[in-house]
Amino acid sequence: MKEVSFIRQNIEKWKEVEKIVEQAEQTDPDRLATTYTDITSDLSFSQSHYPTSRITIYLNNLAFALHNSIYKSKKEKRSRIITFWTKEIPLVMLNSRKELFYSFLIFAISVFVGVVSTMNDDTFIRLILGDGYVDMTLNNIRNGAPMAVYSGAPEVSMFLGITLNNIGVSLYTFVMGLFTGFGSGYLLFKNGVMLGAFQAFFFQQGLLGESMLAIWIHGTLEISAIIVAGAAGLTLGNSWLFPGTYSRKVAFMKGAKRGLKIVIGTLPIFVVAGFLESFITRHTHLPDFIRLGIILLSLIFVLYYYLYLPKTLRYELPEKKD
């Protein structure tokens, strides 16, 4: 890259860093740390390609000033725990909106594959869900309790088991990003096919509406969180696969940090989803408007938190905030 192109590409960001240094005492510590990582990466690039240039001296001075600002601003603000959930996570999602879209797209396609395969092959559902589960469900349907699987265990133990399992799936999906986006994409595809096959199976039994009113009480949050975890994995995988102007190591560290924040953001959602599945879903006698209301409220929350809120905060931090 020519020096003039390098300067044009980053000059606005460097001007913003100068403002951050001037206002360091009022700046969030995480923002300072991320900005420092960003500017030192640019400095490293400049030292390698333009070692005698004035821009290298400028970046070195800027990094030095920012380094001093960080050590003067170590003390965390008491409001950090609040801003983490209300600002940091939404802003990270804003920067990972492409990964979120691709994660959703992979999942949607896999659901379609699961539906089509189940509708055209009677043995497919058993291949995906297993003979034991299918036979148990068919027996529950004959006994007039198609959703009995959700009332087969004590609420508390079911809540703990489901929540820990879902969190494990989320972390695994993220970690699989180490094997590029294909690792996380595979897990998304696998879970999507299972969901599609499951819903198609109940459609074949004439119970699609009842199954959706039950399953999506917890599934709206649970499935959304899995898709978000998939976005975290894709963020991790793309970071070192497509490092851009950063070194592969720096790009990986930035992607890992961003992806980890995304995953942490799903944990409370999995807890709430586990609670709903263990304590609410089993009550199939609840009026349909109550069950539908829970589903709609969950959907509104997901759309607000992961799509609308990030857009409202998009101008509060520099574009490359991680």
For the segment 43-60, what is each residue's pLDDT rounded down to a tens digit?
Answer: 888 888 888 888 888 888
Q: Cα–Cα distances in Å, from 68 out to 23, 33, 250, 306?
A: 13, 11, 21, 35
Give CA–CA dist 111/115, Å, rounded.
6
Confidence of residue 318 (pLDDT cuts 50, 70, 90): very low
- Tell me, yes or no, whether 30 and 153 share the same domain: no
Q: What angle in degrees, to the nearest 10, is found between the helix axes of 248-279 and 208-241? A: 160
Domain boundary among 45, 77, 109: 77
Q: 321 in a domain, yes or no?
A: no
- Tell me, yes or no, whether 11 and 137 share the same domain: no
Question: Could you tell me the two tokens for 91?
Answer: 């802003």
- Tell me, yes or no, whether 233 and 280 share the same domain: yes
Number of domains in the chain: 2
Q: 320 in a domain, yes or no?
A: no
Q: Cα–Cα distances in Å, from 34 out to 9, 68, 153?
A: 19, 14, 46
Q: Which residue in 295, 150, 290 sits closest to 216, CA to CA?
A: 295
Give CA–CA dist 13/247, Å, rounded.
18
- Tell me, yes or no, whether 283 and 308 share the same domain: yes
pLDDT at 45: 85
- Tell me, yes or no, whether 54 and 172 share the same domain: no
- Report pTM: 0.75
- Tell me, yes or no, whether 13 and 119 share the same domain: no
Q: 212 in a domain, yes or no?
A: yes
Give CA–CA dist 86/305, Å, rounded.
9
Domain boundary among 14, 42, 77: 77
- Tell me, yes or no, whether 139 and 257 share the same domain: yes
Confidence of residue 78 (pLDDT cuts 50, 70, 90): low
Q: What is the mean pLDDT of the chain?
A: 87
- Distance between start and end Cα atoms, the chain: 24
Range of the domain at 279: 83-312
Domain boundary among 53, 77, 101: 77
Q: 289 in a domain, yes or no?
A: yes
- Tell me, yes or no, whether 130 and 7 share the same domain: no
Which amino acid is located at 154 in the chain?
A: P
- Tell me, yes or no, whether 87 and 68 share the same domain: no
Contact by Cβ (8 Å): 96, 184: no
Non-local (6+) Cβ contacts of 194 within 8 A are 114, 128, 129
Comparing 2-16, 117-131, 201-215, 243-257, which segment has the lowest mean pLDDT? 243-257
- Tell me, yes or no, whether 42 and 147 share the same domain: no
